[in-house]
Chain A
Amino acid sequence: MASTSPALAPATSNDPLEPALLIEGAQTDASLNDSLFGHVWALPGKGWWGLFGIALMGLTLLLVGLTYTLYKGIGAWGNNIPVGWAFGIINFVWWIGIGHAGTLISAILLLLQQKWRTSINRFAEAMTLFAVICALIFPLIHTGRPWFAAYWLLPYPSVNGIWPQFKSPLVWDVFAVSTYFTISLLFWFLGLIPDLASLRDSSKSPTKRMIYGIFAMGWRGSGRHWAEYKWSYLLLAGLSTPLVLSVHTIVSFYFAVSVLPGWHTTVFPPYFVAGAVFSGFAMVLTWMVPARHFLGLKHVVTMKHLENMNKVILATGLMVTYGYVMEHFIAWYSGNPYEFAMFFKVRQRGPFAPVYWLMIFCNVVVPQIFWSKKARTSLPIMWIAAILVNVGMWCERFNIIVTALHRDFLPSKWEIYAPTWVDWSIYLGTIGLFSTLFLLFLKFVPAVAATEVKELRHEIAHHAEGGEAHG
């Protein structure tokens, strides 16, 4: 692991580049065990039940919305011709994007040996998983005949006597997203195994011991186990890394390979990936800020972690801004009248102009506040900014999908779009589903990768003692 590399700067408090502490206070393995597993063993309090109740209400909205959609058809939504895609695909892209923070933190930061990831990776990975679950609802439910869409997109010798159309980005997406979900699930679960074993060993009831025991998959912590574990973890990290780039690239192909002004844009793949990481970190922050407070994790999720995430938000926010600038520049520079009208008339002055300007405010203006260290380390500011970024990224997808569709080539077929209650209930419902899953996650598995934190503590302690690298 990290400590085997002599080139790596030790993650100590006296490093000028990493001046803040990654673990606060004098911690031992035992104290970390207590504090990190505490929220699993503690009985749910009133706060948890209250939040869980709200989340379940959201989930109910989702079920109502989905049932009604299946019963009535897509006509229950606000979609029309020309706006063939609206909330369904907006929400899909939004949720998939949110998932990206987890993958980035788990995989790329691991490969880059960024120690600050250890306290937040479990949290972020879980969010990836739940976000992808939320996202996966949409490609299915948004089709006219989901009962066929569920399996006709898979390449198998079907009754249709024809393969799926491999030129369609929707087919690419089936592979991209299913791979993404599988790898994310495996990665998250693999990382959990040592912690699950710890939970098994420290649990006091036989039932819990049995359940955690099953999921711990016979982990005994032997040297061989650790060796295999480290290797597979690294391999999965290697597999995940291209996914961070590929999934949202392919999602952006939905739009980029089309002919529509506002969609047909070559900057989309990198700009979508940056946007995904941007929104993903914002979502992690949105949940992390309250969670570290209520779960008593302030000593492992320190201000330094939060500040680092704010820096990532600032950086990716700048990339997103660059994407916007390039889109507009090319629309002007290309001399294409349709694109020019889309970028300089329809979006800025059309019926959905408020959405555009909200997007600009949230995604371009708001992140600039993180140039200031004071803002980066202020909990209320970062929390509000993170929520605004999530709003902004949703607006961005609305802007790309609905605004481009409702005013395309021929003005005769321009139509206004208005979402229905079903659209809103499904959207809010997925937030409910996400919250439900997340609250259950907090109740059943450690929110912080205890194994990795303990390992990190050892490294820090070791370096503080000035000893040689080992272990």
Chain B
Amino acid sequence: MSSAPVPPVRPRVSLPLIEEARADTEVKSREVRRYWRSIAEKEGSPSLRAAAAREFPAGASELPEPNRRGFMQLLGSSAALTGMAACHQPQQQAVPFVRRPPEVTPGLSLHFATGYSLEGFSTGLLVESHEGRPTKVEGNPEHRDSLGASRAFEQALLLGLYDDDRAKQISYKGEPIAWRRFLAEVALLASKHAADGGARLRFLSDPTASPLLGELRTRLLAKFPNARFVSYSPVACDGSADGLAAAFGRAVEARHDLTRASVILSLDSDLLGDGPEQLRLARQFAAQRVPGPGMNRLYVVEPTLSVTGMSADHRIRMRAGDVAPFAQALAAELGGRGGFSQLASLGGAGPAASGVDARLVRAVAADLAKNRGRSLVVAGRRQPAAVHALAAALNAALDNVGVTVSYAAPLLLDARAGAAPIARLAQEIAANQVDTLVITARNPVYTAPADLKLDRLLSRVPTTIYHALYQDETSPACGFFIPAAHPFESWGDGRATDGTITITQPLIAPLWGGVTDIEVLAAFLGEGDRGAHRVLRDSWQAKLGSVPGATGGDYDQIWEKWLADGLIVGTETSPLGDLSLDFGAVGRELSAFNAAAPRGAGFELVFAPDYKVFDGRFANASWLQELPDPVTKVTWDNAALMSPATAKALGVEVERDGDKLSIVAIEYRDRRIQAPALIVPGHADECITLPLGYGREGSEQVGRGVGFNAGALRTSEAPWFDRGAQVSLATGMHLFGITQNHWSDEGRDPAMEVALTDFQNEHSPFHERIEERRGSLPTIHAPVDYSKQQYKWAMAIDLGKCTGCSACVVACQAENNIPVVGPEQVVKGREMQWLRIDRYYSGDIADPEVVIQPVACMHCETAPCEYVCPTNATVHSDEGLNEMVYNRCIGTRYCSNNCPYKVRRFNFLDYTSETPAVRRLGMNPEVTVRSRGIMEKCTYCVQRIEKKRIDTRIEGRAIQDGELLTACQQGCPSGAIVFGNLNDPQSRVTKLHADARRYDLLHELGTRPRTAYLARVRNPNPELAKS
């Protein structure tokens, strides 16, 4: 047993008291430091850690802190109760400190590296922890799929951890049972199934690339050779797996890389806003958005406006079913005029026949051909195998393989996790071929295609074991229910999209005695009581020889290093070099597709994973429910998205300034739902997009009854899109909580944009316009001189890089304890997020261009809010921060009225005092929780500034550029937000403030904002721009 410093509340065997006595190992433990609080510390600043430890004198840590004590009591009692009720194994013990471990200083936070798997791939995270309570999720800068950023999903994991609605009790048909009893039942089942090699035993899980789960699977298959594992995800990208398998003759996974991609064509792929690669791709994409010769160009072909579509230089709207003809027309064009003879046979009917704009196809094809070897064609998860195969063929013909796209052996344990595998499982159940079904997949009854009627089928399985975080739609249909441990309570491992292995460690002992899927599977091997930690650690110890750089040395040390790094360096798998694309096979795939493709009439239905609740798994995260959708700005709802023309044809009415819209009835294959319509400019006509993940009916109180269940129309034959739906106007109107109803910027041009050619032309009107929007205005008051200050804080936001993904909004909400107000309050215009992302449409309403602008407090040097406040509750700091003094605020709201940016938020009601006790554990202790009647707003994360100031003062140095990040900046995948010191001439923010694209929002008011914007430069194809 290693006695290295343990995280505050981590499963552990021995008491700290005993460890304290073993002073010799203490010394060793310091050499193998596992935990690091900040990047600076990680990068080696020994004095910082010592200084941090000096922050409080010895004994101060014993100060009665109600939070900590109360929390420890809760932990102790919950662990004890779990032990009694479920007879859980002692590995899961957690006890209050008798002596404080050396790394824990009350008031100072620690960061722990872990990971989170979504869609099978693990994203590396660093979780900030205060006295053992996880309080903030951040990306792991060294993890390839994070690069320090995080999605809104990962930010919101914190709410899932402290969610009081989580399942807390192991049960059989609703009756509480003990874990021991469950293990005994499983042992019985296992021996029964062993007789026929597990022929009637099935496992249904989420797609995963976890090496440990793979190993367990291998061992289980050795014991039950006839058993079968099925992966299911409602948003699985099976088209890619099938298409690539057809094209290359073997199963491969595509990996994308935009660093050298000059021209990117997305065939209905939301590569910047969806999928496991999105954070990295957004960073790589944004890096090439700086105007200049290397600037990339993005074409997006898609039915509904996506995050990627909003960032596109050219966006071509078309129904999802028309993407394949478009791609074939492109292949024909490249094969013909372009001279790529391999593609000629893939052309299909040609541009004229498929009704695609020939000029457009020609221009895109010419651009791709010109950038041969520097281009990329990506097909989206909705698209069928034929389109994925064709995209692979295009990339191969264009010599992009190895540059912008590469193919590697599949990391996922099951390459296919879509409708086909689960449909086969359903057939087996229907044929009474399954006796025991172990479900570790998330809520399959809700997510599975509606035509499978999984809820009815499950009741025909004699024994079902369901392992889940919530008592959701699936649990009533199952026998055994095992509450799952939250990812932050679990040991486990996973792989990044490049294969790098991530070890995920728990941040806290299971609050309600959850169990990991590892333990559930291990139970079938008779190891259910070993605990996930032991199983994981032993598994890796056995595999140590296969891990690069891990041979020799003490396994304890190696293990601790892996945990501290959050990943195992050097474990990425290399792309396959000996692949050759079979153009003939692609051609056959295409002709098969063309022959089978439905040419039906009627509306096309398109299903989409939701930007907020994904497939419904985040439905109980109120931060995400209240997050305005990046595109539609809808909160607490989904809607039947349609184009303005379609809405007009259907007779959809819009009332109350755009908040209230008609409800439509959608009928498809004898299934009928009602859904409120929402008009989305840029949507394809005669096409309805239905975001998944809403209309939940489980025990999740937040997500229950929000929106409608689009999955009710999903079939296993057409899980992504199909024509043939009947849509008509139903009775009634629906009131949405939309945070931005106004599409137009009214010619006020708050979010500036310019075409690259105009930007490069010094005489274009753009330069005159932007010149007017920076610099100082004449004033009768001498401006305050901030140049003598050590720091002059400022921000720069690059509109060219922002994709609108909204991760920053949730990061800000998590960091600053921003309350959630609920749908009724959002309808009234009282949302509280300090940071909002404005979205304006321009041009043709049917096919607009979109521009995105994050707006938070500008920290104006001459702030209009300050002089109107009667109580001096908002004042200016000597470093230029516009500060809110909550104690002095009496809530006149005058400051908000006089704020031209409308970035102030008011606590109209008491939004915080009814926060459940367990949720309060996740609050950031460094930020005040505001009471009713108080104004609040962005502070530039003043708590982070002050903390860094203290740290650096102790070290006797100044804060360096880049070591202080605001929460929004830290969360931003594309690096659009930069914060820093304007008095440092070398800082990034200083350089950006001097950029040719820099301008101030509402500069003419003379507010001298400290947040500057950088105009977005579009890079349209000159051929297409000419029209």
Contact = CB atoms under 8 A, between A and B. Distances in A.
A270 interface: no
Interface string B876-902: 000000000001111111101110111
Q: Is the interface of A mostly helix, strand, loop or mixed?
A: loop
B892 A143 contact: yes
Contacts of B750: 409-412
A82 interface: yes
Contacts of A81: 829-830, 896, 902, 904-906
Interface stretch (B291-299, B425-433, B587-595, B741-749): B741-749
A72 B871 CA distance: 23
A396 to B, nearest CB: 18
A178 to B, nearest CB: 14
Interface in A75-106: 75, 78-85
A40 to B, nearest CB: 42
A80 B750 CA distance: 22
Nearest to B1005: A259
Contact of A405 (B742, B897, B935): B897
B836 A411 contact: no
A412 B748 CA distance: 11
A144 B742 contact: no
Choose among B840, B871, B905 the residue with the greatest number of A CB atoms under 10 Å from its CB.
B871
A323 B901 CA distance: 28
Contacts of A413: 740, 836, 838, 901-902
B742 to A, nearest CB: 4
A209 to B, nearest CB: 47
Interface string B824-842: 0100111000001011100
Contacts of B933: 73-74, 143-145
Contact of B871 (A75, A80, A165, A338): A165
Contacts of B746: 341, 411
Given A257-B868, A411-B744, A416-B659, A84 B909 contact: no
Contacts of B855: 410, 412
Contacts of A259: 864, 898, 900, 1005
A167 interface: yes
Contacts of B932: 73, 144-145
B838 A168 contact: no
Contacts of A169: 868
B907 interface: yes
A259 B741 CA distance: 24
Interface string B852-872: 010100000000100111111
Nearest to B935: A144
A413 B892 CA distance: 20
Nearest to B868: A168
B818 interface: no
Interface stretch (A4-12, A43-51, A147-155, A303-311): A147-155
B661 to A, nearest CB: 14
B906 A258 contact: no
Interface in B574-592: none
A46 to B, nearest CB: 45
Q: Is the interface of B mostly helix, strand, loop or mixed?
A: loop
Interface string B135-159: 0000000000000000000000000
B656 A416 contact: yes
A356 B1001 CA distance: 30
A168 B873 CA distance: 12
Interface residues of A, number: 53
B215 interface: no
B889 A82 contact: no
Contacts of B909: 72-73, 75
Nearest to B824: A75
Given A80-B828, A337-B747, A341-B746, A414 B897 contact: no
A170 B839 CA distance: 35
Nearest to B909: A75
Contacts of B656: 416
A417 B828 CA distance: 8
B887 A411 contact: no
B829 A148 contact: no
A160 interface: yes
Contact of A168 (B869, B896, B906): B869
A165 B830 contact: no
A144 B747 CA distance: 35
B897 A258 contact: yes
A257 B868 CA distance: 9
A282 B887 CA distance: 43
A57 B380 CA distance: 65
A415 interface: yes
B1002 A409 contact: yes
B175 interface: no
7 closest cross-chain pairs (CB), A and B: A144-B891, A144-B933, A80-B829, A84-B893, A75-B908, A75-B909, A412-B838
Interface of A: 72-75, 78-85, 142-146, 148-149, 152-153, 160, 162-165, 167-171, 174, 254, 257-260, 337-338, 341, 351, 405, 408-418
Given A409-B750, A409-B902, A409-B1002, 8 more contacts: A144-B891, A145-B933, A165-B870, A257-B868, A260-B900, A338-B748, A410-B900, A412-B838
12 contacts: A82-B829, A84-B893, A165-B869, A165-B871, A170-B868, A409-B748, A409-B1005, A410-B1001, A411-B750, A412-B836, A416-B659, A418-B828
